[in-house]
Amino acid sequence: KSSAGVYSLLPLGLRVLNKINGIIRKEMDAIGGEELLMPSLIEKKYWQKSNRWATDVIYRTGRNLEDGKVHDFEYGLGWTHEEVIAAIALNFIQSYRDLPKAAYQIQTKFRAEVRAQGGLLRGREFLMKDLYSFHTDVEDLNRYYEVVKDAYRKIFEQFSLRAIVAEASGGAFTKEYTHEFQVLNEAGEDTLHYCDQCGFAQNKEVFDEARHTNCEGAIAVGRAIEVGNIFRLGTNFSEAFGLSFTDEAGARKSVVMGSYGIGPTRIMGTLVEEFHDDRGIIWPATVSPFRVHLIELPSPNGTAHVLAQEVYEALQKEGVEVLYDDRSKVSAGEKFADADLLGITYRAVIGDKNAPKIELKRRDSDDIELLSASALLKAVRL
């Protein structure tokens, strides 16, 4: 933690985040998203076009004194990028033949959160995947909206998260209902009304029990963490920026837009809230910083050291990510405690007691196996 809501990611945490991003990228690419990178520093004129310069979550710069003169230097740090992507799209969308299009980025966002809390769950600086889509009409937007919804479901399944799709307010983006992906967890800030029988779910802010129809299931209430959201923007931003296209009849029409967000750093925090015990983190295998945590125990005759070196090199040769704890002046108990705390999928222990066998244990299980080096390599492969 550097300050309230602002964090540094250390090496193991960064490895987890990169794996989260890799899963997201794969699914965004699969639905036709093209990755780009937009600036964090966004000039005032862009925010003014959409009437969001005065939005309370934006960090705004003032005037600067340079060379003894006062210069206007007004920018807002990007908390979202509808304005910038609409301005970019002006260069690429002129005809119906240019549509539909979809582009996304994974980039740092900044929001002036009054109550930065919950670690990575609500920060002032955080990573966001934001996807934007462009369409000829609402029907095509609705089609792609469902495509993204399915892609999000696939993403959260790969994180072993049960994400409930809930109706929510459009906030500063749209007047229409939007959809949030919510994970039930007491650490969450949102209150979710949901029905397990029919799938109905709404954020407390928009809850209307009358919309729960044709179902006799009871509505439950629980705390939840929002891990994703999708918005039908319509023509709000395209009209503000003059983003239009010529249809097949030669008429000019405003481009219809959609916006879709996932917070990779918030997902990281959510995974820790969901998967842990009193000893530490239990990372899902898909995002574990390493596949194997190899522990070499103190060995008076050096047998364990030789075997551990051989196993380490064999794992690397096979492309298995391995963290090798070869610290010589640290007790076995401390090494085991560190392994539990870090939450890597497999713990492989090599010591004189069991050599040449290797003790293998999954972080999410209490079962221990004694395996040969070759059997270990097979067991830990993805």
| Pairing of the two strands 64-66 and 69-71 | antiparallel
Structure confidence by residue, pLDDT tens digits, 307-329: 999 999 999 999 999 999 999 88
| Alpha-carbon gap, residue 167 to 202, rounded angstroms | 5
- pLDDT exceeds 60 at position 162: yes
Instruction: Give the strand pairing for 190-194 and 201-203.
Output: antiparallel
d(CA 152, CA 156): 6
pLDDT digit string, tens, across residues 188-233: 999 999 999 999 999 999 999 988 988 989 999 999 999 999 999 9
Confidence of residue 73 (pLDDT cuts 50, 70, 90): confident
Output the pLDDT for position 370: 97
Residue 67's pLDDT is 67
pLDDT at 171: 66
Beta-carbon neighbour count of residue 92 at 10 Å? 10
Residue 69 — pLDDT band, cuts 50, 70, 90? low
The band of 143, judged by pLDDT with boundaries at 50, 70 and 90, is very high
Instruction: Give per-residue pLDDT as tens, 329-365.
Output: 899 999 999 999 999 999 999 998 888 999 999 999 9
Residue 173 pLDDT? 59
Nearest to 297 by CA among 359, 362, 363, 242: 359
pLDDT digits (tens, 9 = 90+) for 268-287: 999 999 999 999 999 999 99
The per-residue pLDDT for 74 is 87
Whether the per-residue pLDDT at 172 is higher than 90: the answer is no
What proportion of the chain, given as a percentage, has pLDDT over 90?
Answer: 85
**Residues 284-305: pLDDT tens digits?**
999 999 999 999 998 888 888 9
Whether the pLDDT of residue 62 is over 90: the answer is no
Cis peptide, bond prior to residue 356, ω within 30 of zero: yes
Q: What is the H or E stretch that residue 338 is in?
A: helix 332-342
pTM above threshold 0.85: yes
